[in-house]
Amino acid sequence: MNEPRTATSVGTTERSLGRSFDLAIETHGLVKRFGHRSAVNGIDLAVPRGSVFGFLGPNGSGKTTTIRVLLGLASANSGDIRVLGREMPQGLASVLPDVGALVEGPGFYPFLTGSANLTRLDAADRHASSSTRRLRVHDALERVGLSHAAGKKVRAYSLGMKQRLGLANAMLRPRELLVLDEPTNGLDPQGTREVRTLIRSLAAGGTTVFVSSHLLAEVEQMCTHVGVMSAGRLVAQGPLEELRAAGQAHVVVQTPDLDLASRVLTRLGLDSHEAPGTGSPWGTTAVLGTGINGHEPEAIVAALVADGVRVRGFSVVNASLEERFVSLTGEGFDVVG
């Protein structure tokens, strides 16, 4: 197979990731159609081994369809897929034992306890040793904070508890790859923090974690790499910092001379406007300049001072992941593509 082609707006896949054996997930020209509509339209994914890869996109952009195809739950119309270095779907039988997944919400027997559900699921895994089953179930429940509810029937579980149980199922055995679709859905802030910490610890232990999520703040805190989907296409992928750096930075000037500062920034080619809700200990507000337009920050400050602007604070702020996402897709997360 050829080395990964660049299908991104950030960096070069070959330069950043090396050869294909460094990738836990790799696709070339992946297409999935429903009738005449392409839900996934020729994407080239490159997910590095050991990374926490955030898979982002508006509702209907093709994220879950892509995951289903990767896991063999749906067939692709065309394209090549490799998971953990093996061709898919031919390698499903050998690959899936090394993959844990939580897709489209967990499904359990409501009349059984959490512990009994996991025991049945573990027993269905022909690769799992029965002699250590009880210990595996206990450890998995403990890792997701459900030890106290192990004996409670799942019908009495909250949505967040069911989500935790789904994570426990995905981690019953050591996995090379975890594929998680909205893993923090239904969790309270404390539960979300715990899952974030758990995902980081798994990655630190060598597990690759592929996370589909719409929670940008969570992705920024736990992911090392990001891919952005829009209308079935992969519009960007790469290291998180590289993706953010490709966005437009903002200049923030703290000054009581708003009009004068705005005129200077406009002259320098920065689209300036007053930043809402930004105060300072001196009772001033800020002027926000979009982009630095090739200027060095020191030169911007010098121009402001030269024109008599009293600069009480100055900073260059990189684009947030949310701003980068909107610039790539033109959409928010509640828009169905």
Extract the residue ranges of the chain whose pLDDT is less than 50: 1-18, 277, 280-290, 333-337
Type of residue at 113: T
Does 187 lie in the same domain as 107? yes
Backbone angles phi, psi at 217, to 5 degrees: -60, -40
Q: Is residue 168 one of the residues assigned to a domain?
A: yes
Residue 118 confidence (pLDDT)? 95
Which one of 229, 245, 261 terminates a domain? 245
Residue 25 confidence (pLDDT)? 97
Q: Is residue 324 one of the residues assigned to a domain?
A: no
Residue 195 confidence (pLDDT)? 83
pTM higher than the cut 0.75: no
Backbone angles phi, psi at 58, to 5 degrees: -65, 165
Residue 6 confidence (pLDDT)? 37
Residue 324 confidence (pLDDT)? 66
Does 87 lie in the same domain as 135? yes
Residue 163 confidence (pLDDT)? 87
Taken as a whole, the chain contains a residue count of: 337
Q: Is residue 2 one of the residues assigned to a domain?
A: no
Residue 74 confidence (pLDDT)? 93
Task: For residue 112, give every residue at least 6 positions away whose Cβ sits within 8 Å of its Cβ, in sequence order, or none.
Answer: 120, 153, 154
Task: Give the residue numbers spanning the domain of 59.
Answer: 13-245
Which one of 199, 227, 245 terminates a domain? 245
Residue 320 confidence (pLDDT)? 64
With vertex at residue 169, the alpha carbon angle to CA 165 and CA 175, rounded to the nearest 5 degrees, is 140
